[in-house]
Amino acid sequence: MTIVRAVRLADLDQLWELLEHATYGLTTLQINKDQLSERVEHSHFAFNRKTEKPTGEPYVFVM
């Protein structure tokens, strides 16, 4: 069984390690630790935000 969940701030180091070893196929993630950190933070806040209507929030999921 595969579990898909929202990315967590605690996942950042593991995501970075994955990107360092990825050769292709992860084109939606930047190979820049600052940008990756910002993307994870924005996703974290988007998931925790109360909203009535989507407005382009950046959701990131992990398996």
Instruction: Enter the pTM of the model.
Output: 0.78
- Per-residue model confidence as pLDDT tens for the chain (63 residues): 999 999 999 999 998 898 888 777 666 776 788 988 999 999 999 999 888 888 888 899 999
Residues 32 and 17 sit within 8 Å (Cβ to Cβ): no
Those residues whose C-beta lies under 8 Å from the C-beta of residue 9, and which sit 6 or more positions away, are 40, 41, 44
Residues 63 and 2 sit within 8 Å (Cβ to Cβ): yes
Cα 18 from Cα 1, distance rounded (Å): 21
Residues linked to residue 34 through DSSP beta bridges, in sequence order: none
**Where do runs of H (alpha helix) occur along the chain?**
12-21, 33-48
